[in-house]
Amino acid sequence: MSVEAPAATGNMGEPHPRFDARLKVTGGARYASDMPVDNPAYAYLVTSAIARGRIVSINLGEAQNVPGVLHIMTHENTSKDVKDSKLFSDGGFSGTSIIPLQSDKVWHDGQIVAVVVAETYEAAREAGYRVKIEYEAEQPSATFESNGVQVQAAADVKKTHEDPKVGDFDGAFASAEVKVDATYFTPTQHHNPIELFTTTCAWAGDKLTVYEPSQTMYGMKNGIASQLGIEPEQVRVVSNFVGGAFGSKGSLTPRTALTAIAARRVGRPVKLVATRQQGFTIATYRAETKQRVRLGASRDGKLTALSHEGWEVTSRPDNYMVAGTDATTRMYDVANVQSKVSIVHADRNTPGFMRSPPELPYMFGLESAIDELAYALDIDPIELRRKNDTMKEPIKGLPYTSRSVMQCFDEGAKSFGWSKREPKPGSMRDGDWLVGLGCAMSCYPTQMAPSSARVRLSQNGELRVETASHEIGNGAYTVIGQIAAERLGVPYEKVSVVLGDSDYPAAPVSGGSITTASVCNCVAEACDAIRAELGINDPKGDVLAALKSRGRGAIERYAEWTPKGVPDGALAKLYSGQAMPTGGTKDKERIMFAFGAEFIEVRVHQRTREIRVPRIVGAFAAGRIVNPRTARSQLMGGLIWGVSSALHEATEIDKRAARYVNKDLAEYLVPVNADIDQLEVFMIPEEDHEVNPLGIKGIGELGNVGTNAAVANAVYHATGKRIRDLPIRLETLLA
């Protein structure tokens, strides 16, 4: 793996090192739970031991006797304190509509049932262990096929949901010359960011400050205000750095309001650091899916019919779904398409956004099926994709603003050595190892949301950018600073960017890969306003000299940016913390996606079936790359996570108890350095000014889409065994 910064080619920006790199490796970056508060008390969560039923009694006697205990919250003393909150995906703020401590009802295993506040963390935890709860348990339903689950069609429960459909699938499939009809499964997965779920709440009079790692400053500010029944102006949220989020910190979890209430009751700041185990049930996760994909094609490889049906697990009360068919029905040129998404209610916590929420599971189904079709047709998998490549999506016939997927396949294939691949499964060997080469398409919708920012240029040459966006590992500090520097012709070293504080101008949730496009376009507008004010319209003109010649100390501009085609009232929603990403498939006139091609070499030991991945190659085209160094890092991380999602990661569920069983990083496997060998990332220059003025598409989620399929396709090529149920483990290959 090359450690040199990738060169900027085409329209790419400079590969500046991450602004926060040194801070992070030296411990200088302060995460939410590092923020000092005066005389804090510590909270510990007590979580339910059953997945369904009710609390019959709570005995706090022993717990209250633990020295240092200040207060214990249960539903008996807290039921009315938290107001109802709507699901984030329904226009609210929360990752779940379940409000712990509201009643004696238990909705899922590991639900918060008490909060102990004490002088020390140890005392709080000790008392937490001594809270005695008696339950009346009912038999829970764990997942697909469990008794008592309730299945609903997505279209019946969510009025905005559409199941994309065009032509006559049934007829076309029935008469197709070659068919694939297969069912795929993707497992439950948890984000497991290294930074745990923490919250620190401090009241000063009726003003609340919340320190919490978050992907949505304004969402939290407004969400917590509505849950506590106070005004948003009374709340400030601070989160300068986030130690991994991947979607898990994008919506409000119940812990925040409970910590705020605890702080109010004990009259001092309260700090909560939930345990790794609790993180599995007090926040969201990626739910398991089941998918049936049917493809019909003519003998020469032209797709004629595509059907994608998906089933996703969710909680009892919530209709959360990812519905990846929105994308998978639009990737290929096929005239007859149908799709349907259903949700399966079980006694589980509500799932939520996790890196590439819809595409990661659903592209596994589609891209595995395409590979199966290639074998059925005896056509090279890349050539099959080329044959069905399209510049307009088939459902409504909307044009792609740009689509460089085949360029990605060609560049990637060249570097990977695809031409040396023997097509027949099981035909490539190296000693005791079966060698398999596989590929898959990656895609991610290009999305944006309204954004605001303030930019100030001072006479000493310093440029300051303020916006309540988020550094979640995406390189936000760096790329925002780069755009401002470039726009005003100021050296990058002179720029300071401040993020992660709801006192700054509103920025949308950092989810859906929207941050770089949304915030950078806004910052560019503010910079342009400064130029205009100084009368320097020539991009090469010296703004600093103009500022000085006018005798001004500084100039500051505030900008609001709205992407094309957003619904009315989008700007108001930015300030109320409810701005939802638009673009992708939501635009009425065009369709916007970033694409990639991913190549995997696997080696499967012929005797033990140990699976190794010696080589990974990804080629991506995602509009303008602002910083090739941070971009490559994001894409690498995505590819590695993609391999992980194919071979390592799964949350195991005890189906009798509807309980997660591998709730720590020892048992929830993610690959270690030694599991990843050669990894190459190519970024194909692509210009697309239709998506937004700066031509940025966003790459945060692109890298890990399709990787799971590429691995499964490579495993098939190595062994002749098609694995449709992730993760692929040696026992599945032995069976």
Beta strands in 315-419 (DSSP E): 336-345
| Residue closer to other proteins (CB basis): 101 or 273 | 273
Question: Residues touching other proteins: how many (CB under 8 A)?
Answer: 26
Catalytic option among 195, 309, 486, 701: 701
Given the rule CB under 8 A, which of 28-36, 294-302, 386-394, 605-613 is the region that contacts other proteins?
605-613
Supply 456's token pair.
């100030």
Environment class of 178 (CB within 10 Å of its CB; exposed 0-12, middle 13-18, buried 19+): middle
| Residue closer to other proteins (CB basis): 432 or 493 | 432
Residues 6+ apart with CB under 8 A from 452: 467, 505, 506, 507, 522, 558, 559, 560, 561, 574
Given the rule CB under 8 A, which of 122-130, 310-318, 499-507, 715-723 is the region that contacts other proteins?
122-130
Does position 129 interact with other proteins (CB under 8 A)? The reply is yes
Does position 666 interact with other proteins (CB under 8 A)? The reply is yes
**How many C-beta atoms lie closer than 10 Å to residue 661's C-beta?**
12
CB of 120 to other proteins, least distance (A): 11
Does position 276 interact with other proteins (CB under 8 A)? The reply is no
Distance CA 575, CA 580 (A): 12
Q: Mapping DSSP to helix (H, G, I), strand (E, B) and coil, where does residue 713 land?
A: helix
Given the rule CB under 8 A, which of 118-126, 250-258, 420-428, 516-524 is the region that contacts other proteins?
118-126
Distance CA 100, CA 350 (A): 13
Residue 701 among the catalytic residues: yes
**First-to-final CA distance of the chain:** 34
CB of 275 to other proteins, least distance (A): 9
| Residue closer to other proteins (CB basis): 67 or 267 | 67
Does position 194 interact with other proteins (CB under 8 A)? The reply is no
Sign of the alpha-carbon dihedral angle for 499, 501, 503, 506: positive
CA distances from 482 to 14, 300, 521, 546 (A): 8, 49, 12, 21
Does position 395 interact with other proteins (CB under 8 A)? The reply is no
Evaluate whether 98 touches 315 at the Cβ level (below 8 Å): yes
**How many C-beta atoms lie closer than 10 Å to residue 532's C-beta?**
11
| Residue closer to other proteins (CB basis): 70 or 524 | 70
Distance CA 67, CA 126 (A): 10
| Residue closer to other proteins (CB basis): 275 or 390 | 275
Distance CA 133, CA 113 (A): 9
Out of 348, 494, 531, 648, the only residue in the binding site for other proteins (CB under 8 A) is 648
Given the rule CB under 8 A, which of 174-182, 220-228, 416-424, 723-731 is the region that contacts other proteins?
723-731
Does position 67 interact with other proteins (CB under 8 A)? The reply is yes
Which ranges of 267-358 does DSSP label H, i.e. alpha helix? 276-282, 325-328
CB of 732 to other proteins, least distance (A): 12
CB of 651 to other proteins, least distance (A): 13
Does position 669 interact with other proteins (CB under 8 A)? The reply is yes
Supply 188's token pair.
């439950």
Does position 652 interact with other proteins (CB under 8 A)? The reply is yes
Out of 58, 60, 106, 123, the only residue in the binding site for other proteins (CB under 8 A) is 123
Does position 105 interact with other proteins (CB under 8 A)? The reply is no
Which of left, alpha, beta for 578 (phi over 0: left; psi -120 to 50: alpha)?
alpha
| Residue closer to other proteins (CB basis): 63 or 490 | 63
Out of 145, 610, 654, 687, the only residue in the binding site for other proteins (CB under 8 A) is 610
Does position 419 interact with other proteins (CB under 8 A)? The reply is no
* Nearest in space to 692 (alpha carbons), one of 402, 326, 282, 268: 402
Does position 66 interact with other proteins (CB under 8 A)? The reply is yes
Q: Which residues form the catalytic set?
A: 701
Please report, as ranges, the residues that interact with other proteins according to CB under 8 A. 66-67, 122-123, 126, 129, 605, 607-608, 610, 648, 652, 661-662, 666-667, 669, 671-675, 729-731, 734
